Structure 1
């Protein structure tokens, strides 16, 4: 019967496709050439730097309490980290690994850098103002008032003109679950759009024509057409992290199924599911070169590598 075994390839490489990092890895970022992955370790209060070529952590950088989200700017020369437990954003020089801290307000959560690198936008969960703006030249902080509250996730249009901010409210609040569109120049509110329950992550498509909002509690995907302002809702998976865009389709982590799901960006249907071997609590992902996904696992304290090509 041995001749049948060839149709069942034995996959033995799974173990080496996980990289141990700090405790409670959550937010994750990758530089432009795919050579470095940066991971926020929420429990251990540090950031792991991974060399993707040899799949090793080459540096562990202490930040402040409960680092949640991370974004890279200035062609990867700076990393910005929200410290949920310290009311601060850590600024890391990715060459020297020097760290500075900027106070932004209580419970900073999500973060995005403008495409020109001049501003960093941070959602702040527990203050009267729900968005902090850091000037990256002076590190002065300004704040936007009058937004629905509290803010969760934020992303920016490719032309830097629009900010898309998701928020949730107590059931008796005026907006409950919404996406607020504001001008990044005047900070006036341009639109408020209802979303599915608990819009945990906002991702603008690379061409700026669509905004994807993950509704964590509803397991729905809301897709906004930025020109017509029409939204559509699609059944989705249990996902807290961002939608990530490949050359053609989009990807996300299904936390319950422990899979990477591929979403057709024309139909918004899930067209493929790829298991994440040995996953316990997959959280967020980035996409490297050759459609290689790096997925933070909050429970196993690892980064999983999954080839989606």
Structure 2
């Protein structure tokens, strides 16, 4: 006969025994790597499409395999179910307007943005700002107003604003400082929070006036990406290898060590957790957003670059770049089997 008291006593004994041996006790619900799978050459970022339930991964190609594509990934087994060729403008950053089913990719090599119809696979428009020089990096969609924001990295940096109705360049938000990269909304779409790596700061932009309202320290060195739960800001600081937590007024609440090259960032509202993809250590750190305790450091691939979360299930997907270098005459090329992959965390 089942004796619950007996089971509880023996479970406790087992936990105590594991602790006594100096081994970490992992709760049954602790997150872990489910699987990894190849995802194209020169993969960079991903976006989760809430409407069709698939993950879309950008692939810019490589030195040996030039090209560019947008891959549609089955979230269950990570198989590639479809692809859209973007060879003329290889994509890096990506964001999806789930209402219009248009994906926007930043094409750093050609200093442009592509608007791609996910239903037909056709490129609707290739957009640029008209400037002689630009460096498009991150892209953020405001679905409520059908606007698209793109960071143009420079000194000073700027932000492009694209009209999603016409998929044309609308206007520029200029003079953001040296190397503006990541963007996030918090409480409303009236304020845009932007990481400025060159000054270790966060710029708060009024999207109506198109001006910086205020700026405050990120709490770390080289802030590169940012996310929010509506009340707090989460920032990856690439040089210091940390995630910092701030309120929307700029007060530092916590600094959490994650790993060298902290870059990719996502907030999971289902489980109230923060993810940091650490390109230098090959790990993705899982953080409890309530206690700020590190729950896990998971080996996800050679160079974790980007992480996105399914907003319904809380499952995370990490895009891992490949490691390598320029070919050396007389030497065999380095083959990285853990790079150019997508990893699923359950």
The answer, yes or no, to whether TM exceeds 0.5 is yes
Contact 1:177 1:199 in 2 (8 A): yes
Residue of structure 2 in register with 1:149 after alignment: 178
For residues 48-59 of structure 1, the aligned pairs below 5 Å read 48-53=71-76, 55-59=78-82
Contact 1:115 1:158 in 2 (8 A): no
Deviations 1:202-240 (A, max 9, x none): 1122xx1011111011112222211x4312451322321
Which blocks of at least 5 consecutive residues in structure 1 are unaligned? 1-13, 170-175
Residue of structure 2 in register with 1:304 after alignment: 343
Residue of structure 1 in register with 2:165 after alignment: 137
SS for the counterpart of 2:265 is coil
Matched, 1:179 2:202: yes
Contact 1:129 1:143 in 2 (8 A): no
The TM-score, its normalising length taken from structure 1, stands at 0.83
Change (3 A) 1:191 1:73: same
Contact 1:67 1:84 in 2 (8 A): yes
Displacement of 1:98 in angstroms is: 0.7
SS for the counterpart of 2:316 is strand
Q: Report the structure number with the largest CA radius of gyration.
A: 2
Matched, 1:159 2:168: no
Deviations 1:235-259 (A, max 9, x none): 3223211233241222222334433
Change (3 A) 1:303 1:117: farther
Give me the whole-angstrom Cα distance separating, in 1, the residues matched to 2:108 and 2:77.
31
Residue of structure 2 in register with 1:22 after alignment: 40
Displacement of 1:22 in angstroms is: 1.7
Aligned counterpart for 2:127 among listed residues 102, 114, 120:
102
User: What is the root-mean-square deviation in Å for CA atoms of aligned residues?
Assistant: 2.4
The TM-score, its normalising length taken from structure 2, stands at 0.75
Displacement of 1:180 in angstroms is: 0.1
Residue of structure 1 in register with 2:283 after alignment: 259
Give me the whole-angstrom Cα distance separating, in 2, the residues matched to 1:168 and 1:15.
31
Greater shift in the superposed pair: 86-95 or 34-43: 34-43
Give me the whole-angstrom Cα distance separating, in 2, the residues matched to 1:126 and 1:258.
28
Change (3 A) 1:241 1:167: same
Displacement of 1:270 in angstroms is: 1.4
Which blocks of at least 5 consecutive residues in structure 2 are unaligned? 1-31, 62-66, 323-338
SS for the counterpart of 1:242 is strand
For residues 143-292 of structure 1, the aligned pairs below 5 Å read 143-169=172-198, 176-195=199-218, 196-205=220-229, 208-226=230-248, 228-237=249-258, 238=260, 239-247=262-270, 248-276=272-300, 279-288=301-310, 290-292=313-315
Deviations 1:18-53 (A, max 9, x none): 332221211111112572111111334221111224
Greater shift in the superposed pair: 42-51 or 91-100: 42-51
Deviations 1:85-117 (A, max 9, x none): 111111111110111211135110011011415
Contact 2:156 2:177 in 1 (8 A): no
Contact 1:24 1:297 in 2 (8 A): no
Greater shift in the superposed pair: 64-73 or 81-90: 64-73
